[in-house]
A and B are shown apart, each in its own frame.
Chain A
């Protein structure tokens, strides 16, 4: 058995044990939705951090920085500042209402049926878009790290739903997430997120130290190295803003001006990026 498979099974084992332990403790609504209000501040902080440090930040942000340098880093700052919105405007008022979900809070003061329908619709719409990226990311990781697992699962996925074949890795990830949440409720979800946060932060600190060790803990040498990498399209050094989000005559923050004028939405993609920049 390979090391990656062993590590994978250990992590899955730990999270399943947490879920089983939590499922036995969860009996009431408060316990399911709010973990019986027994989660301490630091535990909840780590869990929310774990929620943020998902496939999106570890694969997405790392990829954005690797391909676009500074602009990828600037993108990640938005996630941090968004915490303040949660702290100032959402967390305390929400807790003070004594409700469990956003829809509960809204329907307390307003007509419940339309508010709940709107809340349910937007939750499903947002989660679908968000979860798809997350699960494809996690599924791809399993495929890269454990190719044998994906190969061995394939024979069991020889059927299709509405003409679409299920991907074994992604289906496995989705199934495990459903087990965690449905069986364990908020206690398991919170503790799984705490374990994830600690593992990811530990890994990130270790990687940062290893990179700094490579540069003999010399920050300036580290930045010299980043500076020496140049973007292929804009020819800007990787420490410079404007690689992913060019701003100038034809583009505003990476979006074509023609598209903005036509009131359409366009996201910058590396393949569609014209060779235009401000400098």
Chain B
């Protein structure tokens, strides 16, 4: 599923407790929702992906200036023609960023969105 797809659904789904009051008409039980298993599962599933991914991309990114500064002679090693390791490493950052974004979108469609749907059902059902 695309990330954008969840946006138009926003008006139909109950809006988050923005003003602290339940939307008129609908029976939505926001109170205590954060203590339900469904909500905990959603938050945990998100963090299980986001935390390691963030640590990884920060480490991978800072490895670029660090290695260029600390091991310049290694990074100047030419691989193909005059294309050196430093260029290949910098270009691999583009691949890394696109791949991580792709994995996030796939995980969001397969795991996060169904879990969020369960939370939404729980909220309309009550405790």
Q: Measuring CB to CB, which residues of chain A are less than 8 angstroms from any residue of chain B?
A: 37-44, 70-71, 73-74, 77-78, 80-81, 83-85, 87-89, 92, 96-99, 219-220, 223-224, 226-227, 237, 239-242, 245, 247, 252-253, 278-279
Complex: how many Å from CA A252 to CA B65? 11
Q: Measuring CB to CB, which residues of chain B are less than 8 angstroms from any residue of chain A?
A: 2-5, 7-8, 10-11, 15-18, 46, 50, 53-54, 57, 61, 64-65, 68-70, 72-73, 75-76, 80-84, 86-87, 90, 93-94, 97, 100-101, 104
Complex: how many Å from CA A223 to CA B78? 11
Residue of chain B at shortest CB distance from A227: B82
Could you tell me if B16 and A240 are in contact, using CB atoms closer than 8 angstroms? Answer: no
Could you tell me if A74 and B97 are in contact, using CB atoms closer than 8 angstroms? Answer: no
Q: Give chain B's interface secondary structure class.
A: helix
Complex: how many Å from CA A43 to CA B5? 12
Given contacts A41-B3, A78-B61, A253-B65, contact A224 B93 (CB under 8 A): no
Could you tell me if B54 and A98 are in contact, using CB atoms closer than 8 angstroms? Answer: no
Complex: how many Å from CA A222 to CA B46? 44
Could you tell me if B86 and A241 are in contact, using CB atoms closer than 8 angstroms? Answer: yes
Q: Choose from B11, B80, B94 the contact partner of A80 (Cβ within 8 Å).
A: B94
Could you tell me if A80 and B97 are in contact, using CB atoms closer than 8 angstroms? Answer: yes
20 contacts between A and B (CB under 8 A): A42-B4, A43-B4, A44-B4, A74-B90, A80-B94, A81-B57, A87-B104, A88-B104, A89-B50, A98-B15, A98-B16, A219-B81, A220-B80, A220-B82, A226-B82, A227-B82, A240-B72, A241-B75, A241-B76, A242-B72
Q: Which residues of B contact A245 (CB under 8 A)?
A: 65, 68-69
Could you tell me if A77 and B61 are in contact, using CB atoms closer than 8 angstroms? Answer: yes
Could you tell me if A240 and B97 are in contact, using CB atoms closer than 8 angstroms? Answer: no
Known contacts A239-B83, A245-B68; 16 further A-B pairs (Cβ under 8 A): A37-B7, A38-B8, A39-B7, A40-B8, A44-B4, A70-B86, A70-B87, A74-B68, A74-B86, A81-B57, A85-B54, A87-B101, A97-B18, A220-B82, A223-B81, A226-B82
Complex: how many Å from CA A40 to CA B64? 34
Could you tell me if A80 and B18 are in contact, using CB atoms closer than 8 angstroms? Answer: no
Q: Which residues of A contact B54 (CB under 8 A)?
A: 84-85, 88-89
B118 to chain A, nearest CB (A): 15
Q: Which residues of B contact A74 (CB under 8 A)?
A: 64-65, 68, 86, 90
Residue of chain A at shortest CB distance from B4: A41
Q: Which residues of A contact B17 (CB under 8 A)?
A: 98
B110 to chain A, nearest CB (A): 15
B42 to chain A, nearest CB (A): 10
Q: Choose from A42, A99, A223, A240 the contact partner of B86 (Cβ within 8 Å).
A: A240
Q: Which residues of A contact B97 (CB under 8 A)?
A: 80-81, 83-84
Q: Which residues of B contact A42 (CB under 8 A)?
A: 4
Residue of chain B at shortest CB distance from A93: B46
Complex: how many Å from CA A252 to CA B7? 46
B54 to chain A, nearest CB (A): 6
- Max chain B Cβ within 10 angstroms of own Cβ: one of A80, A84, A252, A279: A84
A-B pairs with lowest CB-CB distance, top 3: A41-B4, A247-B69, A220-B81
Given contacts A74-B65, A81-B93, A247-B69, contact A220 B4 (CB under 8 A): no
Residue of chain A at shortest CB distance from B73: A279
Could you tell me if B69 and A252 are in contact, using CB atoms closer than 8 angstroms? Answer: yes
Could you tell me if A242 and B68 are in contact, using CB atoms closer than 8 angstroms? Answer: yes
Q: Which residues of A contact B15 (CB under 8 A)?
A: 98
Q: Which residues of A contact B73 (CB under 8 A)?
A: 279
